[in-house]
Amino acid sequence: MALKRVTIDPITRLEGHGKIEIFLNEDGNVENAYFQVPELRGFEKFCQGRPAEEMPRITPRICGVCPEAHHMASTKALDQMYGVEPPRAAQKLRELFYCAHMIHSHIAHFYALAAPDFVVGPSADPKVRNILGLVEKVGVETGQEVIKHRAYAQRIQAMIGGKATHPVCGLPGGLSKALKEEEREEVEKMARSCVSFARKSLKIFNEVVLEKKEYVDLVRSDFYAVSTYYMGMVDEQDRVNFYDGDVKVVDPQGKEVARFRGLDYLEHIGERVEPWTYLKVPFLKKIGWKGFVDGPGSGVYRVAPLARLNVASGMATPLAQQEYERFFEVLGGKPVHATLANHWARLVELLYAAERVLELSRDEEITDPKIRNLPTKKPVEGVGIVEAPRGTLFHHYRADVDGMIQSVNLIVATGNNHAAICMSIKKAAQGLIRNGEVDDGLLNMIEMAFRAYDPCLGCATHSLPGQMPMEVKIYDHRGEKLRCLKR
Amino acid sequence: MPEEVRVLVLGLGNPILTDDGVGIYVARKARSLLAGRPVEIVEASVGGLGVLDLIQGYDALVVVDSMLSEKLQPGEIAELDLDSLMKTQRLGPVHGVNFATVLALGRDLGLPVPEHVEIYVIGVRDVESFGEQCTPEVAAAVHRGAHLVKERVIAYLDHVERKKTPPYRRHGQLPKSEPSQA
């Protein structure tokens, strides 16, 4: 029997897609917009009854995009469950590993997803508005640098994590393996190269976006801005930290309104269930849920690079600090509400992550073989919080008397941003669609509003064709479908 | 057998999302069927640019993945037409880049990506529930899939052996056998 051959074309129906639905009013202007992602079922049930220490190996499997973030949040949750503090060398090595993950992720987002909109043009044909079109414009050499530095970050993660993806290094109280001197030397060399590459990336952003008035105007335009609360993690000196610290929240004027750690997240974050989406909608409990609206009276908050820069007083490394200052100078002071500024903020963070890896690779303690304090108590309850590339990530576990998992709650970065993503899409659509007239270029500009968050639908499935398909549907005031575009 | 011939069998999927792991299970089973041959078997749960890191340095690549589409019944195995996938490569994905874009990017950048690529997909039913076992029809395809992979890899290696020349350099030259689905 001959084997069937399947072809994929743009209209092949694939299940499990993300959806943007835009509803127009009688005048053909935008009334409402929704962003939906597919449901994943039964994670808590899947975990129940398993030994707590298995969680850092299970949770990275949730997502093919940021397994390292889940691994680290999970490992930190176990530290708290077992009541054990890792030695300093282990904390530094975890942070080094984690900053390498940020480098890996931020490079991919900027070059594959963000830059084509600006380098090739926001309303350019999708046939050229992609990473291949980008390479054509910026040159093969830069393309090779992109791949090389992603591979460096991957190599560092594999060295410490034990595997290239789905790391196995994190244990309650520390890590499974210390860093050898020859590995440290290799990390230092690669980190130095990553710092240069991050600076080059900021230079490209400067040339491609900041030196063009129309793009600066686009970034700062009202229809790409929502005025929300912001959340992000800061160190003891109130500077951005991805691995550990306090979770800080500022209001739309930039004033600090909350600072918390661990289990206290329950006092600050409420999770709302909406009838039209499977993904919960978190909000700030103390402000309250007022619907999908912005302003100081609404508990909607944002996470991700822009939010992190907005909440912090600065960056902990010198070159990133300079870029941080320039960022707020050019964009008119803190906080910045321009959603598209996430791309720039992401590059500032790329530079910080590279500088931090370099700094840690030169730290005298980094090769210390004492990388674990053995837990001696039974696991009870714990919360692990990290800044994933796409924003704050919470893992909360509770165990039964035998140390088996009883309950699990995860709040993922794209979940935190859910309400704000819906609002950003609606506002962009309202600003761009007039009298029911809409074309592909406009739709891409609407998509740009949500792409800036680097929303991760990858938590769902990896089935071919290797991407989460996306549908944009537009309905008229009678609820009849006017257009449907598939990406 | 020319020593430099290197074949990669890449099983893609997520082994805790019910049917999504089928590509991984096929690769795992193919490992024992292909023991002793110049083949590497890799299981991965990555997509997009992550695939590019895995496929460099091989002459030939056989990918096995799940596919949720109205074109396939659960458990049905098909070869994915790479040319048609290439046609969609430029459509902007939501997150990451698709497989065809990854191959094209690798070639544009002069990276050592495989010259010969075959992609096999297995129709799936449930990729949204957490679970470590496939649904029955999909589970039944694992054995067939592994034997198909074995046949295709051996066909490739035989072809290279017959030619006694460096591995052929263009996609689509490999004579198509008709692999059995039994």
3-state secondary structure A296-358: CCCCCEECCHHHHHHHCCECCCHHHHHHHHHHHHHCCCCCCCECCHHHHHHHHHHHHHHHHHH
Question: A270 in a domain, yes or no?
Answer: no
What's the pLDDT tens digit per position in B29-62?
Answer: 999 999 999 999 999 887 778 888 889 999 999 9
The reply to whether A367 falls in a domain is: yes
A231-258 average pLDDT score: 98
Q: Do A18 and A120 have their domain in common? A: no
**Do residue A20 and residue A133 come from a single domain?**
no
Among A351, A374, A397, the domain-final residue is A374
Q: For A5, which residue in chain B has the nearest alpha carbon? A: B79
Average pLDDT over residues A42-69: 88
Confidence band of A257 (pLDDT split at 50, 70, 90): very high
Residues A37 and A95 in one domain: no
Position A410 in a domain: no
The tens digit of pLDDT for each residue in A374-423 reads: 999 999 999 999 999 999 999 999 999 999 999 999 888 888 998 999 99
Number of domains in chain A: 2
pLDDT band at A169 (very low <50, low <70, confident <90, very high): very high
Q: Which residue has the higher pLDDT, A225 or A119?
A: A225
3-state secondary structure of B144: helix
Are the beta carbons of A40 and B124 separated by less than 8 Å? no
Say if the Cβ atoms of B17 and A461 lie within 8 Å: yes
Say whether residue B35 is in contact with chain A using an 8 A CB cutoff. Answer: no
Can you tell me the mean pLDDT for A302-316?
98
Structure tokens at A283: 């909000």
User: Would the pLDDT of B176 be above 70?
Assistant: no
The listed range with the strongest mean pLDDT (A12-26, A63-77, A173-187) is A173-187
Give the gap in angstroms from C-alpha A46 to the nearest C-alpha of chain B.
Answer: 6
Q: How far is B25 from chain A (nearest CA, A)?
A: 14
Q: Testing the interface with A: which of B14, B82, B94, B119 to mutate, by most A Cβ within 10 A?
A: B94
Please check whether residue A302 lies inside any domain of the structure. no
pLDDT at B9 over 80: yes
A–B CB contacts, 8 A cutoff, strictly below: 225
pLDDT, tens only, B58-112 = 999 999 988 887 788 999 999 988 777 665 544 434 445 678 888 899 999 999 9
**Confidence band, pLDDT 50/70/90 cuts, at residue A330:** very high
Which residues does chain A have within 8 Å of residue B110's beta carbon, measured at their own beta carbons?
Answer: 140, 144
Specify whether A159 is located in the same domain as A13: no
Are A6 and B78 a contacting pair at CB < 8 A? yes
SS (H, E, C) A267-301: HHEEEECCCCCCCCEEEECCCCCCCCCCCCCCCCE
Mutation target vs A (from B16, B95, B128; most A CBs, 10 A cutoff): B95
Instruction: Please judge whether B94 and A144 are an interchain contact, meaning their C-beta atoms are less than 8 angstroms apart.
Output: no
Task: Extract long-range pairs of A163-166: CB within 8 Å, 24+ residues apart.
Answer: A164/B53, A165/A60, A165/A64, A165/A67, A165/B44, A165/B45, A165/B46, A165/B50, A166/A57, A166/A60, A166/A61, A166/A67, A166/A71, A166/B45
Does residue A156 have a pLDDT over 80? yes
**Which among B13, B32, B33, B15 has a CA at the least distance from the CA of B23?**
B13
Q: Residue B64 in 3-state DSSP? A: strand
Mean local confidence (pLDDT), A41-63: 89
B17 to chain A, any CB pair closer than 8 A? The answer is: yes
Helix (H, G, I), strand (E, B) or coil at B150: helix
For residues A34 and A180, state if they share a domain. no
Which one is predicted more confidently, A6 or A24?
A: A24
> What pLDDT score was predicted for residue A176?
96
DSSP code, position B167 = P
Please check the confidence at residue B143 and state whether its pLDDT lies above 50. Answer: yes
Any A CB within 8 A of B85 CB: yes
Using a CB-CB distance cutoff of 8 angstroms, which residues of chain A are in contact with residue B155?
Answer: none
For residues A26 and A149, state if they share a domain.
no
Q: Does B88 contact A465 at a Cβ distance shorter than 8 Å? A: yes
A16/B68 Cβ within 8 A: yes
d(CA A133, nearest CA chain B) in Å: 9
How far apart are the CA of B163 and the nearest CA of chain A, in angstroms?
25
More confident residue, A319 or A22: A319
Q: Cα distance from A455 to chain B (closest Cα, Å)?
A: 7
pLDDT band at A356; cut points 50, 70, 90: very high
Whether A49 and chain B come into contact, CB under 8 Å, resolves to no
Average pLDDT, chain A: 89
CATH code (residue A101): 1.10.645.10
CA-nearest residue to B44 within chain A is A165
Nearest to A467 among B72, B77, B95 (CB): B95
Per-residue confidence (pLDDT) for residue B100, from 0 to 100? 82
Tell me whether residue A466 is in a domain. yes
Answer yes or no: is A440 within a domain. Answer: yes
Q: Considering CB atoms only, which of B16, B49, B67 is closest to A58?
A: B16
Range of the domain at A24: 6-42+417-486
Partners of residue B22 in chain A, C-beta under 8 Å: none
A251 and A296 in contact (C-beta within 8 Å)?
yes
Both A37 and A184 in a single domain?
no
pLDDT digits (tens, 9 = 90+) for A272-307: 988 777 678 899 999 999 999 999 999 999 999 999
Task: Kindly state whether residue A329 falls inside one of the protein's structural domains.
Answer: no
Q: What is the pLDDT of residues A100-118, one digit of tens each?
A: 999 999 998 899 888 888 8
Residues A369 and A473 grouped into a single domain: no
Say yes or no to pLDDT of A12 above 60.
Answer: no
Residues of A in contact with B179 (CB under 8 A): 3
Q: Are residues A109 and A197 part of one domain?
A: yes
Could you tell me if residue A138 is inside a domain?
Answer: yes
Chain A residues in contact with B27 (beta carbon < 8 A) = none
* pLDDT computed for residue B96 by the predictor: 53
Query: Do A165 and A89 share a domain, yes or no?
Result: yes
Contact A464 B96 (CB under 8 A): no
pLDDT value of residue A329: 96
- Nearest Cα of chain A lies from the Cα of B160 at a distance, in angstroms, of 23
Query: A421 and A355 in one domain?
Result: no
Alpha-carbon span A202 to A473, nearest angstrom: 35
Q: Are residues A215 and A359 in the same domain?
A: yes
